[in-house]
A and B are shown apart, each in its own frame.
Chain A
Amino acid sequence: MSAEALSRGNWLGRGFATLGLGHANLNLVLGGAIILGWALIAVFAPWIAPYDPIAHNLPEKLLGPGLSHPLGTDNFGRDILSRVIYGARIDLQMGILGVLFPFLIGTTLGAVAGYAGGWVDILLMRILDVVLAFPFLVLMLAIIAILQPGLTSFYIALALVGWVSYARLVRAQVLVLKTSDFVLAARSLGFGRLRILFRHILPNCIAGSIVFSMSDVVLVVLAGSSISYLGLGVQPPTAEWGVMIAEGQNFITTAWWITTFPGLAIVLMAFGFSLLADGLAERFGLRQP
C-alpha cells in the first residue's frame, strides 16, 4: 500500500473517529438520522406537502391510501400525508422547547440546591417533593386548564412540572462533585463560588441530564399529543399528530388511516430520540455499549 493511500486511510479513520463512528455507535447514527430527517421534513414542509393541510375538500373525504392521496384523506377531505408533514413542525417544536425550559430551570435549581446546601437545598427539595407528589399528566392538565388551552400554556405547564427530574439528577451529581479534589483545588485557588459551580462542577455533571433530556423528549411529545388529544393543547384545525388521532377516532373502524399514520409518526420520532439517548449515553461513557 502506498504511503499516500495509507495517510488517506488514516484521515478517513480520524474523520470517522471524531464523528463517533470509530466505535460503530449505531444508535447515535441511526437516531441522529431519524431526527435529522424529521427536522428536514419540518423545515421544508410547504415544499414537500402535496396538499394544503387545513383546507377542506369534501368531495374527496375519507379516501383510503391510494395514488392521489398516498396516506388517504380524513372526514374533511384533507390529505393525511400533508397533515403528518405539517404536524412534524408542531411536534418537533413541542419536543425541543418542551424539554429545553425544564432542562435549563431544573439544571440550574438542582445545581444551586446541591452546592449551596442548607436551607436553600431543603426549600427547593421540598418544593420538588410537592410537584412530584402529583401524577405528571394530572398536574399538567390542571395547570393548562387554569391558564387557557393552547401550546403556550403547555410549555408553561411543562416548565413548572418537568424541571424536577433534572433538578434531582443534577443535584445528586453536584453533591458528589462538590467534595471532589478538583473542586477543593479550585477553592484553594481562590475561585468564586459561581465560577466553581457553573464552570467546574456543572460541565462535569451535565452529561446525564443531556441523555435524560433525549428520552424526555419522547415523553414530552407523547404528553403533548395526549393533551392535544384531550383538547387542551394544540387546537384544531392545526395539523398536529395528537389532534389528528383525536379527530380520527370516530372513524377508526371505517377509516383506520386517519389515526394510524399520525400514530406511526409519533412512534418513529420517539424511536429516533430514544436511539439518540442510548447513543449519547454510550458516547459519554454513562453506560456500557
Chain B
Amino acid sequence: MTAAAPLLQVRDLEVRFRAGGIDLPGLNVPGFGARYVNAVNRVSLSVAPGETIGIVGESGCGKSTLGRAILGLVETQGGEVRFAGDPVAPRDRTSIARLRARAAMIFQDPYASLNPKLDIGEAIAEVLRVHGKAAPDAIAARVAELLRLVGLSPELARRKPHQLSGGQCQRVGIARALAIEPSLIIADECVAALDVSIQAQILNLLMELQRRMSLSLVFISHDLGVVRHLCRRVAVMYLGRIVEIGLTEDVFAAPRHPYTRALLAAVPDIDPDRALAPAQLRGEPPSPLDLPAGCPFHPRCPHAQEICARGVVPELRRTGDIRVACHFDLPPMTQQGEDP
C-alpha cells in the first residue's frame, strides 16, 4: 500500500432495495412485510490517488450498485463514503455536489447514457458550463480539445449519438467524464457492450489518460482478463460482499478464496487443445432475498464444512498480502482448475 492518504474511502457501505412486500412500520405478518435485497453488504474499500482498482464478480453481485452508491446515485442504508477526507452524506446536497465535481462515472451502454436529443458537442459543453470549467467564449475550443483527447475528430461535435458508433459514443462518455477534470473515475462495465477490438482501444485510452492525469480509477467489470491487464488491485465481490481483495498479481497468482479460484478457473483458455477445466461451481448463486446462514458461499463451495453453514459470516482477514473472507487457510492452488 502507498503511504498517501486515500482519495476515496468506503466503510461498511450498505445498500438495500425493497423487493416487494408492504412497507408498514409494525407490520409483522409473515409474508406481508417488506422484503429487502442487500445489494451491497458492509463493503469497505479505499482507493489511493492515481490508483486503479478492479471490482469483479458475477452479474447481480452488487458491483454496479457499489459504484453508483459511491457517487450517491442510489440511497445507502448504512456506512460511510469519504472523498478526499470529507464525508459524503447522501442527504447533504452540497457534499454530493462537491463529490460529483471531482468524481465522474462512465457507463456500460454508450448509447443509452447520452441524451439522444443533444448533439455531442452540446453534451460536453453542458458539463463545462455547469461546473464552470471554461469561460463562455472558450467552451467550443475546450470541447474540441476534449474530443481530440479521446481520439475523436472535433467535427463530430455536431453529430447526434445515434449517428456515432458504440466505440465513438463511449469515447464521448469518457470525454464528458474528463470535462469535469476529475480525480476519480468510476467505470461501470464500460467496455462490456463493445466489440473486442474496440474494447482494446477504449482500455488503452483509459490507461493512457489515467497515467497522464494520475486519475484514480475504479474499474467495475466481470471480465477478469481486462481487470488483470488494467488494475493494480482487485476486489472480488460475491452477493454484495467483498470476499477477497489484494494486489492483482497476488490474487491472480495465488487466490485464497474458493470463489475467486472458481472464477479464475472458469476463464476460458485460448489454447483449443487444453480442455476446459471442469466447472467448480455448482448451481446458481442463492437468491439474494434469502441468503443462506453463515458464509453466503457455502452451498456452492467445494470446501464447505459444518462451521460454514452454522457460524457467523466470515469477515475479511489478512493472510499474506491478500485479505480474504473465508474461515480456512486453503492450501495454495497447484495449477489453474486443479484444486486439491
Contact present for B116 and A190 (CB under 8 Å): no
The reply to whether B116 and A191 form a contact with Cβ atoms under 8 Å apart is no
Pick from A181, A195, A204: contact of B107, CB under 8 Å: A181
Q: Which of A183-204 contact B (CB under 8 A)?
A: 184-192, 195, 199-200, 203-204
Chain A interface secondary structure, helix, strand, loop or mixed? helix
The CA-CA distance from A61 to B180 in the complex, in Å, is: 77
Judge whether A190 and B97 touch: CB under 8 Å: yes
Given A189-B100, A189-B176, A190-B97, verify A184-B113 contact (CB < 8 Å): yes
Please classify how large the interface on chain B is, using the bins under 10, 10 to 19, 20 to 34, 35 or more.
Answer: 20 to 34
* Cβ contact within 8 Å between B127 and A189: yes
Q: Is B130 an interface residue (CB 8 A)?
A: yes
B113 adjacent to A203 (CB under 8 Å): no
Mask: chain A, 197-231; 1 = CB below 8 Å from B; 0 = not: 00110011000000000000000000000000000
What residues on B are CB-neighbors of A181 within 8 Å?
A: 107-109, 112-113
Asked whether A182 is an interface residue with its Cβ less than 8 Å from the other chain, the reply is yes
Chain A residue at minimal CB-CB distance from B182: A189
CB-CB < 8 A to B104: which residues of A? 188-189
Report the Cα distance A181→B100, complex, angstroms.
17
| Proximity string of chain B (76-113) to chain A, C-beta cutoff 8 Å, 1 when within and 0 when not | 00000000000000000000010011001101110011
Verify A200–B115 contact, CB threshold 8 A. Answer: yes
- With both beta carbons as reference points, the residue of chain B lying nearest to A183 in the complex is identified as B115
Which residues of A are found within 8 Å of B130, using beta-carbon distances?
Answer: 189-192, 195
Min C-beta distance of A116 to chain B, whole Å: 15
Q: Whose C-beta in chain B lies nearest to the C-beta of A204?
A: B117
Query: With contacts defined as CB atoms under 8 Å apart, how many contacts are there between chain A and chain B in the complex?
Result: 53
For chain A residues 80-105, which have a beta carbon within 8 Å of chain B?
A: none
Is there an interface contact between A190 and B100, defined as CB atoms closer than 8 Å? Answer: yes
Return chain A residues, CB-CB under 8 Å to B73: 184, 187-188
How many Å lie between the Cα of A188 and that of B179 in the bound state?
A: 13
Specify which chain B residues have a CB less than 8 angstroms from the CB of A199 in the assembled complex: 126
Hey, which chain A residues are within 8 Å of B71, CB to CB? 188
**Bound: A9/B173 CA distance, A:** 38
- List residues of chain B with CB within 8 A of the CB of A189: 100, 104, 127, 130, 176-177, 180
Mask: chain B, 212-229; 1 = CB below 8 Å from A; 0 = not: 000000000000000000
Q: How far is the CA of A86 from the CA of B111 in the complex (A)?
A: 51
Interface flag for A180 (CB, 8 Å) = yes
A199 to B125, CA, bound (A): 14
- Picked from A185, A187, A203, the residue with its CB within 8 Å of the CB of B114 is A185
A182 touches B114 (CB 8 A): yes
Asked if B131 CB lies within 8 Å of chain A CBs, one says yes
Question: Which A residues are CB-close (under 8 A) to B100?
Answer: 188-190
List residues of chain B with CB under 8 Å of any chain A CB. 68, 71, 73, 97, 100-101, 104-105, 107-109, 112-118, 126-127, 130-131, 173, 176-177, 180
Question: Which 3 residue pairs spanning A and B have beta carbons closest together?
Answer: A190-B100, A181-B112, A188-B105
Can you list 19 A-B contacts with CB-CB less than 8 angstroms, sorted by A residue number? Answer: A181-B107, A181-B108, A181-B113, A182-B112, A182-B114, A182-B115, A182-B116, A184-B73, A185-B105, A185-B107, A185-B113, A188-B100, A188-B104, A189-B127, A189-B180, A190-B180, A191-B126, A200-B118, A204-B115
